[in-house]
Amino acid sequence: MARTRWFLLALLVVVVATAAVLAPSARRGDSGAAAFASAAVAGDGSRAARTSVATASTGRHAPDESPARGLAVPFPVVAEEASPALAERRELGRLLFFDPILSAENNLSCAHCHHPDLGFADGRARALGRGGAGLGPARTGGVPLRRGAPSLWNAAFAPALFWDGRAATLEEQAAGPITAPDEMGEDPERLTAELAAIPEYARRFRAAFPPPAPAAEAQAPVSFQHVTAALAAFERTLLARDSRFDRFAAGDRAALDESEKSGLKLFLSPMTRCVECHELPTFTSRQFKVIGVPDAPDAPPDAGRAEVVGGRYYRGAFKTPTLRNVALTAPYMHNGAFATLEEVVDFYASGKGRERIPQGLYVDDFIGAFQLSAAGRRDLVAFLRALTDERPPQPPPAAVPSGLAVVPRLNRNPAPPPGAAHRSQE
Ligand code: HEC
Ligand code: HEC
């Protein structure tokens, strides 16, 4: 026991000393958050975490001189096969995404559960699959699925898809809902025959996937592989990188109001630890974490990542979702356990996730209670809302080549006129 304590003390000394060397910005009197952010820019997450914690424990917090410094972290590169037909591929993928022809009964499109006016999610705690009617929160009937539809914004940056990461690429993912009996329930062969019989699709597939050489013409342009490739090419265009936070990070100090700036500081602080899992600039670490979200009372317990990789440590681990556009995608978590961002923040601050440890969950060390005033709670939520990309999403196409009905626009989240959401100008 005593030995362990000495070891921990020695470790603390080393960490603090390292931090003093690694954090010249802290010596210059910046906040711990700014030190964190500059270290994060250097690309070393673990060092950044230690730096921020150590800076806090040595009490060197000083008035915030330059909160924006180090926040403008470059986005990862979207890995995509180069093709001269990329524009045609994306447009084909967009039409397929909104076309119910992808489902067995020709009545369910990707957009029924990933609607542009619902942050490319569906506004439901858990999605309703095959056999239902309507879309988004108004959808009724249909096989209840066990998880919520995640937003597709910035899925292009994700190294693994689904809440449990079971698909490695967007192409692989897209085959899932099309063929899953509970979702679109479609048979790939029947689908490609249907598509090839529609002249506009036949033409668009040829343009999007031109045969490399005359000899390869045996390979039909309308194939299931090309369906998923086109869907993925469209999804890779759904990038949310243009929020007021980004303007602030780029140096426009008026882009966030005082409450949002305080929220940002809380978000970056070693007290809340939000940024250590929701990292800049994507607001996800792209890792699977156990945070102890309660199971839905009317659904079987969800083992999450453990279903894919096994092992008790991953039981109840889920993909850390991006927080970009998070204001648009309530309810929250893999099962919609929380209706609002306020409820999410209360969950973290209460440390309630740890209540699942006795149930055998290896809840992450970064999950634990912290003191948050009413103002702090409001500020943190205000900051999360400032992560919304302000460009209105491209609306659904007016029509799709199959002639089937396209999802209508929903006015739940009307796009603000330019500048209207910029509260500091009000
Ligand atoms: C019935 C509703 C429904 C339909 C239709 C649907 N999805 Fe989903 N989608 C979901 C649900 C629920 C999940 C999460 C499932 C899980 O993680 O196990 C999901 C997950 C995803 C993901 C993973 C996102 C991430 O961040 O991990 C992508 C990408 C996606 N869907 C794209 C599509 C595409 C493309 C289509 C059409 C071919 C489609 N979806 C059709 C409900 C739906
Ligand atoms: C240990 C890593 C970790 C920390 C620390 C953390 N998160 Fe999360 N966050 C996650 C994971 C994992 C999920 C998804 C969990 C699930 O679905 O069961 C999540 C989900 C969320 C969601 C819901 C997003 C959605 O689309 O459903 C919000 C909002 C959120 N976190 C905000 C925060 C805030 C604010 C903080 C700081 C108070 C924070 N997180 C700290 C890992 C973390």
What percent of the chain has a predicted confidence (pLDDT) above 70?
Answer: 79
pLDDT in tens, 217-245: 556 799 999 999 999 999 999 999 999 99
For the record, the structure tokens of 358 come out as 């006795």
DSSP output for 288-339: EEE--PPPPTTS----BTHHHH-SGGGTTEEE----TTGGGS-SBSTT--BS
pLDDT for res 21? 33
Q: Characterise 169 by phi-psi region: left (phi > 0), alpha (psi -120 to 50), beta (else).
A: beta
pLDDT for res 213? 64
Same fold, 86-240 and 242-388: yes
CA distance 122 to 278: 22
Q: Does 148 have pLDDT greater than 50? A: yes
pLDDT for res 384? 98
CA of 384 to the centre of ligand 2 (A): 11
For the record, the structure tokens of 239 come out as 């990038």
CA distance 166 to 158: 12
CA of 418 to the centre of ligand 2 (A): 29
For the record, the structure tokens of 5 come out as 């304590």
What percent of the chain has a predicted confidence (pLDDT) above 90?
Answer: 73
Confirm or reject: Cβ of 323 under 6 Å from ligand 2.
yes
Specify the residue with its C-alpha closest to ligand 2, atom 41: 274
User: What is the third-level CATH fold of 242-388?
Assistant: Cytochrome Bc1 Complex; Chain D, domain 2 (1.10.760)
Ligand nearest to the backbone CA of 184:
1
Return the CA Rg of the chain.
23
pLDDT for res 298? 82
pLDDT in tens, 298-351: 878 899 999 999 999 999 999 999 999 999 999 999 999 999 999 999 999 999
Provide the residue ranges of all domains of the chain, joining segments of one domain with +: 1-70, 86-240, 242-388
The three-state secondary structure class of 133 is strand
For the record, the structure tokens of 344 come out as 């999410």
Q: Residue range 1-11: average pLDDT?
A: 46
CA distance 252 to 261: 12
pLDDT for res 424? 32
- Nearest atom of ligand 1 to the alpha carbon of 321: 26
Confirm or reject: Cβ of 273 under 6 Å from ligand 2.
yes
Dihedral (C-alpha) 203, 205, 210, 215: value to the nearest 10 degrees? -90
Confirm or reject: Cβ of 366 under 6 Å from ligand 2.
yes
pLDDT for res 297? 84
Protein residues whose CB sits closer than 6 Å to any atom of ligand 1: 102, 108, 110, 112-114, 127, 129, 145, 147-150, 152, 155, 158, 161-163, 170, 173-174, 177-178, 183-184, 231, 235, 319
CA of 82 to the centre of ligand 2 (A): 34
Strands (E), 186-304: 288-290
pLDDT for res 69? 66
| CA 368, 372, 376, 382 torsion-angle sign | positive
Ligand nearest to the backbone CA of 330:
2
**Residue among 378, 306, 296, 391 nearest 342 (CA):** 378
For the record, the structure tokens of 251 come out as 């140096």
User: With 0-12 CB in 10 A as exposed, 13-18 as middle and 19+ as buried, what is 389?
Assistant: buried
User: With 0-12 CB in 10 A as exposed, 13-18 as middle and 19+ as buried, what is 2?
Assistant: exposed
Measured from the Cβ of residue 90, the count of other Cβ atoms closer than 10 Å reads: 19
pLDDT for res 393? 81
Q: Residue range 134-162: average pLDDT?
A: 95
- Nearest atom of ligand 2 to the alpha carbon of 273: 5
What is the 8-class DSSP label of residue 212? Answer: S
From 278, 352, 377, give the residue whose CB has the most ligand 2 atoms within 8 Å, as the site to mutate. Answer: 278
Strand partners, 332: 338
| Amino acid found at 26 | A
Matching residue, tokens 């790939």: 188
pLDDT in tens, 182-219: 999 999 999 999 999 999 999 999 999 997 766 555 56
Calculate ∠ Cα 363-278-232, nearest 5°.
Answer: 110
The 10 Å CB-count burial string (b at 16+, else e) for 225-239 is: ebbbbbbbbbbbebb
Q: Residue range 283-293: average pLDDT?
A: 96
Catalytic residues: 183
pLDDT for res 412? 56
Q: Are 387 and 321 in contact (CB under 8 A)?
A: no
CA of 147 to the centre of ligand 1 (A): 10
CA-to-CA dists, residue 253 to 64, 112, 247, 383, angstroms: 13, 39, 8, 14
pLDDT band, residue 406 (cuts 50/70/90): very high
CA distance 242 to 254: 15
Q: Are 234 and 94 in contact (CB under 8 A)?
A: yes
Average pLDDT along the chain: 84
CA distance 205 to 199: 10
Q: Answer with the residue of higher pLDDT: 289 or 214.
A: 289
pLDDT for res 300? 80
Q: Answer with the residue of higher pLDDT: 196 or 6.
A: 196
Specify the residue with its C-alpha closest to ligand 2, atom 10: 320
Specify the residue with its C-alpha closest to ligand 2, atom 39: 274
pLDDT in tens, 35-71: 344 333 333 333 333 333 333 333 333 334 444 568 9
pLDDT for res 208? 96
From 103, 114, 227, 406, give the residue whose CB has the most ligand 1 atoms within 8 Å, as the site to mutate. Answer: 114
Matching residue, tokens 């085959």: 175
pLDDT in tens, 353-362: 999 999 999 9
Confirm or reject: Cβ of 276 under 6 Å from ligand 2.
yes
Q: Characterise 40 by phi-psi region: left (phi > 0), alpha (psi -120 to 50), beta (else).
A: alpha
Q: What is the pTM of this model?
A: 0.85
CATH architecture classification, 86-240:
Orthogonal Bundle (1.10)
CA distance 407 to 342: 30
CA distance 329 to 381: 14
